Amino acid sequence: MEVENDFIKREIQRINLLLTSLIEKISGINLNSAKSGIEETNEALKSEFDLTLTDFTQMENSEFVKRIKKLHESHTEKLLELIYEIVIKTELPDLSGDYNKMKIAQKGILIIDFLNEETNTFSINRMNIKNALQQCV
């Protein structure tokens, strides 16, 4: 039983590290590296969660909520941070035509609403991100 718990903890940590590295990658992209940074992020999301940015912007809200319900709470929080960074970066000329900033922001707000309903934790960071995302919608 202890080995199983250790494995689960390691998997949670591994995915958290992956999402953290994706957040750092996106926050550090500039005009020259925007396309490749988003493509790498899409590949990582596809391999880990079987979703790309395009997939979840086109996904119905109810289906999206079903998908995020399966995630660990810390992964959902990190996914929210990643979405927020992507929304900020979609203003770069290289990305503005490829990704719908408004739809990505709406999914971010949906994640925040889900987290606020499902967790007992109040987050000022979440509240600040929601305020920023609402200005994009």
| pLDDT value of residue 96 | 60
Question: Which pLDDT value is given to residue 82?
Answer: 95
pLDDT in the model for residue 21: 96
Closest CA to 73 of 104, 20, 30, 111: 111
**Residue numbers of the domain that contains 70:** 2-134
| pLDDT tens digit sequence for 31-66 | 778 888 888 999 999 999 999 988 888 999 999 999
Over 90: is that where the pLDDT of 72 sits?
yes
Share in percent of the chain as helix, strand, coil (round to 5): 80, 0, 20
Distance CA 91, CA 117 (A): 30
pTM score of the predicted model: 0.91
Number of compact structural domains in the chain:
1
Give the tens place of pLDDT for each residue, 78-123.
999 999 999 988 876 666 666 788 999 999 999 999 999 999 888 9
Give the single-character DSSP code of 126: H
Give the pLDDT mean for 13-28: 94
Amino acid identity of residue 115, one-letter, is L
Burial class (CB in 10 A: 0-12, 13-18, 19+), 30: exposed
pLDDT bin (cut points 50, 70, 90) of residue 2 is: low
